[in-house]
Chain A
Amino acid sequence: MIKLTNVSKEYPKRGFALRDVSFHLQKGEFAFLTGHSGSGKSTTMRLIHMADRPTAGEVRVSGYSSERVTERDLWKVRRRVGFVFQDFRLLPGRTAQENVAFALEVTGTPTRAVQAKAQRLLSQVGLSTKAGAFVNELSGGEQQRVAIARALANDPFVLLADEPTGNLDERATRGIMELFWDIQAKGMAVLMATHDLELVRRFPSARVFELDQGQLVYDSTQAVEPDASPTLRAD
């Protein structure tokens, strides 16, 4: 599935963003990646999405190794990994359906199948009635649902979510979390980066990785005590 082995990432000006991080995310797992701002959560997500390469160590995603995958083959990795962001990154001036259809079209879904699949994906995220609404007419929570529908377009095996509830109110956050659990229940792994520890505590069955200054300081499956996380315990 996703395996990081002794991964380090050093930027020329910023220095180390990650240092010797190793973990293995299994198929169908739900995991939180926590840590303060600047702890390396987004860098980890980018490395898994292969938007960046590690300076040391190896990232393996569904059989593709960061050491061997070529620029030409990156699209194969990207189709196996869905990605949602805090700021949704939808195309303005297009409807919810058009945003999802866009992802399907550009990844080679046959034209006649695009609209039906886009509708099905929007239904899956509970937005079938808002398919024709323009992005700016949707609430934050609804926009994030469109982004999730788009991320599911290529039936990925894992959904990466980088602070997906960061811009949402409590009610919308709850709805998005329920959606993530639904998605995970259907067999897809979910790795969600968040600094919201309150949110993490609400889902004790989820696996938790914690980063601090680029180092993995806690993995709930490896911990001797269930509340051994330095931050979770201290909070």
Chain B
Amino acid sequence: MYAMREAVAAFKRAPVLTGLSSAMVGLALFVVGLFGLATYNLQLALSAIEERVEVVVYLRDDARQSEIDLLLTELADFEEVRQVRYVSKRDALERARVELPEFGELFMDSEVNPLPQSLEVELRQGFRNPEVVEKLSFAAEGYPFVEDAQYGEEWVDRLFALRRIGAASAGVLGVAFALVAALIIGTALRIAIFARRDEIYIMRLVGAKNGFIRRPFLLEGAMAGLAGALLAWSLTYGTYRGVYAYLFEIAWVPGTWVVLGLVAGTAFGAVASALAIRRHLREI
């Protein structure tokens, strides 16, 4: 009760200072927010490319329907596989006419359909990686009526290399931004603590328990963190709207990320404040 009253009173007593603390926290978290927005959109772009990771099993012309059905069932039984589509020679030709109009005449004129029948193996999310496609290709190639199994080995490998680099740099940059934000928040709160050093001194003088001294600062830190996180959210959202309207189409981060950001900002404020007040109490 006392802690809450004191934390609110601190906001009221020094609105400029607490406002500045929140603004500093907000700007620090804004950088993290922008980074989150960029990471999320990069992830979406990579996922869209990843969707196209599939295995195409080309079948010999003399493969019997019963053999094809058997392979289709076996491939569909793999837990990594979402679905297996059979593409007949005629379907392949139709598709080629639509997708490759520049070769339209070639396909029209030809009396013989040169395109093979195939099975297109679509993978479940989370399994679109080089190991799985290689495993499925290997399994399919074991059948005598299979001509070839392809999955665009080279670009899948590149895509995953890119993804690994993306994940690593996102991790490193995320930690770096979070550390910078923590330092800024810590500094802002140290200023707030410094402004109230007389009160802290008196509290110690008359015998207040350390926990009691810390509590209002923890609350104040949490409030500054939450206010900063809300500011960061509004700035990031404004940026998103601006980019969407004037530059290019991007996606807004999921609601859980926003909630997580607000909770993290609040917790960040409280923890940074706890560390700052702990240090201050040790010094006086």
Contact = CB atoms under 8 A, between A and B. Distances in A.
A162 to B, nearest CB: 12
Interface string B181-216: 000000000000000001101111111111011000
Nearest to B199: A91
A153 B203 CA distance: 12
Contacts of B13: 93
Interface in B1-35: 1-2, 13
Given A83-B205, A153-B206, A89 B198 contact: yes
Contact of A89 (B2, B202, B208): B202
Given A108-B212, A111-B1, A103 B199 contact: no
Contact of B208 (A77, A83, A107, A111): A107
Contacts of B213: 106
B210 A78 contact: no
A79 B1 contact: no
B274 to A, nearest CB: 16
A154 B206 contact: yes
Contacts of A106: 2, 202-203, 206, 208, 212-213
Interface string B35-61: 000000000000000000000000000
B198 A76 contact: no
A102 B208 CA distance: 10
Interface residues of B, number: 17
B206 A107 contact: yes
A143 B14 CA distance: 24
Given A106-B212, A106-B213, A108-B212, A76 B207 contact: yes
B198 A75 contact: no
A78 B213 CA distance: 14
B1 A150 contact: no
B198 A154 contact: no
Range for the number of chain A residues in contact with chain B: 20 to 34
User: What is the predominant secondary structure among interface residues of chain A facing chain B?
Assistant: helix
Nearest to A154: B207
A234 B198 CA distance: 41
Contacts of A74: 207
Nearest to A84: B205
A50 B122 CA distance: 74
A29 interface: no
B201 A75 contact: no
A201 B21 CA distance: 54
Contacts of A91: 198-199, 202
A72 B207 CA distance: 11
Given A105-B2, A111-B1, A75 B209 contact: yes
B8 to A, nearest CB: 15
B201 A107 contact: no
Contacts of B205: 78, 83, 89
B207 A107 contact: yes
Interface string B118-145: 0000000000000000000000000000
22 contacts: A71-B210, A72-B210, A74-B207, A76-B207, A77-B207, A78-B204, A91-B198, A91-B199, A91-B202, A93-B13, A102-B199, A103-B202, A105-B2, A106-B202, A106-B208, A106-B213, A107-B206, A108-B209, A108-B212, A111-B1, A150-B206, A151-B206
Given A71-B210, A106-B2, A106-B202, 14 more contacts: A72-B210, A75-B207, A78-B204, A89-B198, A89-B202, A91-B198, A91-B199, A93-B13, A103-B206, A106-B206, A106-B212, A107-B207, A108-B209, A108-B212
